[in-house]
C-alpha cells in the first residue's frame, strides 16, 4: 500500500506583518520630540534667522509659523510619495523645486488674504525655500519614510519651530510696544510721557534682543533637561 507524501510548497508563505497604528508610540514621538528634546531652533539650532527677524509682532510670528507648517507638510508628503522614483544624484534639485513651488503658492495666498503681514514679512517668506529645517526634514526623514510618518514629522517640527517664534514674539511685542496682536494692554496713563511710571523698552524690538530671548529659552530648557547639555 503506497502512501502519498505531500511535498512542501516551493515558496514559503510569509505571514503578513501587522500594520502600525496611525498614532503608535513611534508616531507620537514624531509629534512630541520636536517640541522639546529635538526642537529645531533651541536644540538643532536651525531656522535662527527668521526667529530673530520676524518676531517683533506676534501676528507675524503666527503667520510665519503657519507658512512653514504648510510648506513642510506639503514638502514632506510629496517627497515621501515620490521617494522611490527620485534619482539619488538629483534629489536635492527635486527637493528645491518642490519647496519653491509650495513657497510661491503660500506667498500668493498671503498676499491675497493678509497683505499687510505679507508686506511686513518681506523677503522672509521667500527665504523659507532655504530654511534648514525644511530641507533637513526632506533629506533626513521624508526620503526614507512613508507618507503618514512624514506628515507627522512635518507637523511636529513646524510646531516646535512655531512655539519658539510665538514665545519670542510675545516677549518682544509686550515689552517693546506694550501690546499683543495689536491690542494695547498698558494704559496710556501708566506711560512716563503722560506722567506715569512705565516706558516701553525699545531695545526689545531690535534683533539682538531676540537672540537674548532665544538664549534664555535654551538655558531654561537645558536646566530642566540635563540630557540636552553638551559634554566638552
pLDDT (average), residues 68-75: 95
Whether the pLDDT of residue 36 is over 70: the answer is: yes
CA atoms 129, 133, 139, 144: torsion sign: negative
Q: 174, 168, 161: which is closest to 200 by C-alpha?
A: 174
Is residue 66 one of the residues assigned to a domain? yes
173-226 per-position pLDDT tens digit: 988 888 888 788 777 777 787 777 777 788 888 888 888 999 999 999 888 887
CA distance 205 to 162: 19
Give 122's contacts (C-beta < 8 A, 6+ positions apart). none
Is residue 45 one of the residues assigned to a domain? no
Whether the pLDDT of residue 65 is over 50: the answer is: yes
Is residue 118 one of the residues assigned to a domain? yes
Residue 37: how many other CB atoms lie within 10 Å: 14
98-153 per-position pLDDT tens digit: 999 999 999 999 999 988 888 888 788 888 887 888 988 999 999 999 999 999 99
- Domain with 203 in it: 53-226
Is residue 105 one of the residues assigned to a domain? yes
Is residue 175 one of the residues assigned to a domain? yes
Is residue 141 one of the residues assigned to a domain? yes
Residue 24: how many other CB atoms lie within 10 Å: 12
When pLDDT is cut at 50, 70 and 90, the band that residue 13 belongs to is very low
Is residue 57 one of the residues assigned to a domain? yes
Is residue 7 one of the residues assigned to a domain? no
pLDDT of 184 reads 80
Number of domains in the chain: 1
CA atoms 105, 106, 108, 109: torsion sign: positive
Amino acid at each position: 500500500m503506497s502512501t502519498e507524501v505531500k511535498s512542501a510548497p516551493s515558496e514559503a508563505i510569509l505571514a503578513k506583518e501587522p500594520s502600525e497604528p496611525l498614532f503608535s508610540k513611534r508616531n507620537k514621538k514624531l509629534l512630541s520630540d520636536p517640541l522639546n528634546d529635538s526642537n529645531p531652533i533651541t536644540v538643532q539650532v536651525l531656522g535662527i534667522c527668521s526667529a530673530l527677524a520676524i518676531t517683533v509682532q506676534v501676528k507675524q510670528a503666527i503667520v510665519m509659523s503657519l507658512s512653514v507648517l504648510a510648506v513642510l507638510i506639503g514638502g514632506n508628503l510629496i517627497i515621501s510619495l515620490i521617494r522611490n522614483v527620485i534619482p539619488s544624484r538629483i534629489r536635492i534639485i527635486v527637493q528645491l523645486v518642490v519647496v519653491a513651488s509650495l513657497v510661491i503658492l503660500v506667498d500668493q495666498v498671503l498676499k491675497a488674504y493678509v497683505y499687510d503681514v505679507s508686506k511686513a514679512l518681506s523677503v522672509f517668506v521667500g527665504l523659507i525655500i532655504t530654511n534648514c529645517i525644511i530641507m533637513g526634514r526632506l533629506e533626513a526623514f521624508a526620503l526614507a519614510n512613508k507618507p503618514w510618518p512624514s506628515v507627522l514629522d512635518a507637523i511636529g517640527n513646524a510646531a516646535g519651530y512655531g512655539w519658539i517664534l510665538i514665545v519670542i514674539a510675545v516677549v518682544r511685542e509686550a515689552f517693546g510696544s506694550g501690546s499683543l496682536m495689536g491690542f494695547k494692554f498698558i494704559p496710556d496713563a501708566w506711560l512716563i510721557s503722560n506722567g506715569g511710571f512705565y516706558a516701553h523698552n525699545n531695545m526689545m524690538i531690535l534683533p539682538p534682543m531676540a537672540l537674548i530671548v532665544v538664549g534664555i529659552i535654551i538655558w531654561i530648557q537645558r536646566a530642566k533637561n540635563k540630557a540636552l547639555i553638551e559634554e566638552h
